[in-house]
Amino acid sequence: MGTNVIFDIITSTVIGGMLLLMALRLNAQAIETNAIYQDNLNLQTGLVALVDIVENDFRKIGYCKDWTKISPPNIAIVYADSNSIKFLTDIPSSPTDFGDGIVDTIYYYTGSTGGNPNNLKEKPLYRVVNGNAATGWNLGVTRFALRYYDALNDTLHFPITDPTLIYELEVNISLESPAPLTKISYHDTTAAKEDFKVYWKQIRLASRNLRNR
């Protein structure tokens, strides 16, 4: 076997190895990009679903088909804290229904952190209707914060001893990926883990029923 043939074999082996390495890197990057996209998509989908329920409930604070049953409207909020709220409303039995005239109680509150070992900041958000079993969201919620304002636009400080003063409220919700994604790095032997986050903030969310005083 001549020297040129051996050289050609070595050269082909080196080039083939480089091409294989490039293909492996491109494949790993594609997997990482897809995982990041899917992680963000799951968070955004979860946030949209959660916000849709929360916003719909909060905008109906104090509403009842038989308006005489929640009168005056400012009694609708029974309890209010920085991360929990209990209020009166009239839950419709179907999407086309406007309520049945029976007063319902909805209670939102957060559970304890630490239940998810992959994300110690995550806490379940619960929704309780009429004292029944709580419905919880384990979507990576890390923050459910409430702030309240009176009719003069002044902030009500905690503890709120008189919920009838509440005229408007502010809602802040944050979600993080339930499990941090390991970010691939070819320049560092240490793999970094990254939490993906989405936020929603509703400033001055007002139920029209709270304004009817």
Tell me the C-alpha distance between 159 and 161, whole Å: 6
Tokens of 182: 């390991």
117 backbone dihedrals φ, ψ, rounded to 5°: -65, -20
Q: What is the pLDDT along the chain (213 residues), one digit of tens a residue?
A: 556 666 656 666 767 666 667 766 666 666 566 666 677 777 888 888 899 999 999 999 999 989 899 988 889 999 999 999 999 999 987 767 778 889 999 999 998 887 776 677 888 999 999 999 998 877 788 999 999 999 899 999 999 999 999 999 999 999 887 666 555 444 454 455 556 778 888 877 777 787 765
Q: What is the Rg, in whole angstroms, of the alpha carbon atoms belonging to the chain?
A: 27
Per the CB < 8 A criterion, the answer to whether 149 and 167 are in contact is yes
Tokens of 200: 């929603």
Peptide linkage before 124 cis (omega within 30 of 0): no
* Edge-first strand listing for the sheet containing 168-176: 155-156, 141-149, 168-176, 197-205
pTM here is 0.78
